A = this chain, B = another copy of it.
Amino acid sequence: MISLEKKILAEGKIGEGDILKVDCFLNHQIDVNFLCEIGKEFYNLFGNCGVNKILTIEASGIGIACITAQFFNCPVVFAKKSKTINISSDVYVTRAYSYTHQCYFDVTVSREFLGPKDRVLIIDDFLAKGSALEALVTLTKIAGSELVGAGIVIEKAYQGGGDALRKKGIRVESLAKIASMSPKDGIRFI
């Protein structure tokens, strides 16, 4: 998505520790008009797949998922992150690893909101090593839902998480795929 690549180049900042900061439009301040363009693009990609539920994970996935869901005319479910082990029996739970915070956390969804009748599109802002996305994929499996695919705004392709999931047969569509990134050479897209 050319307009997204342009926006990343114009407004994104490369921070320490291989961080791409896009918090001016995507995950702290949110440019809602631009999110509409992103939602439309996801609809172009997955609009004919019979999606009836969008699954994301708190917090920064929620805005993107909600705007995208308007095009699909379906509800959003956001998975919750938790460090507690005090999980009740009415939720599906799996684990993910946060490379940012260097710890495992539980990812949960109420059984009530994900089940065999759901054709699920996963939406998230970033895909790097893929731990959060794998957790969401696992939740759809446990719930017996049909996974249509995953729509990602920015994939750090050089970290391999996206291709690992594609190899497992999961359709992963990323609107911007970063081939390499460094303060010295800037950002290159695939």
Using a CB–CB distance below 8 Å, which chain A residues touch chain B? 23-25, 28-33, 35-36, 58-60, 62-63, 65-67, 69-70, 73-78, 80, 109-110, 112-113
With both beta carbons as reference points, the residue of chain B lying nearest to A81 in the complex is identified as: B59
Number of copies: 2
Q: Report the bound CA distance from A29 to B112 in whole Å.
A: 9
Instruction: Enumerate the 5 nearest inter-chain pairs by beta-carbon distance, A residue then B residue, closest first.
Output: A58-B59, A63-B66, A59-B59, A30-B76, A29-B113
- Binding site secondary structure of chain A: mixed
Do the beta carbons of B113 and A80 come within 8 Å of each other? no
**Min C-beta distance of A92 to chain B, whole Å:** 12
**What residues of chain B lie closer than 8 Å to A30, measured between beta carbons?**
62, 65-66, 69, 75-78
- What would 13 A/B residue contacts be, using CB atoms closer than 8 Å? A28-B77, A28-B110, A29-B110, A29-B113, A30-B62, A30-B65, A30-B77, A32-B70, A32-B74, A32-B75, A36-B70, A63-B63, A63-B66
Q: Using CB atoms, name the residue of chain B closest to A35.
A: B66
Seed contacts A28-B110, A28-B113, A33-B73; 9 additional CB < 8 Å A-B pairs: A23-B113, A24-B112, A29-B110, A29-B113, A30-B65, A30-B76, A32-B69, A62-B62, A66-B66
On whether the beta carbons of B78 and A31 are closer than 8 Å, the reply is no
Shortest CB distance A135–B (Å): 16
Docked pose: A113 CA to B28 CA in angstroms:
8
Q: Which of B24, B29, B76, B112 contacts A63 (CB 8 A)?
A: B76
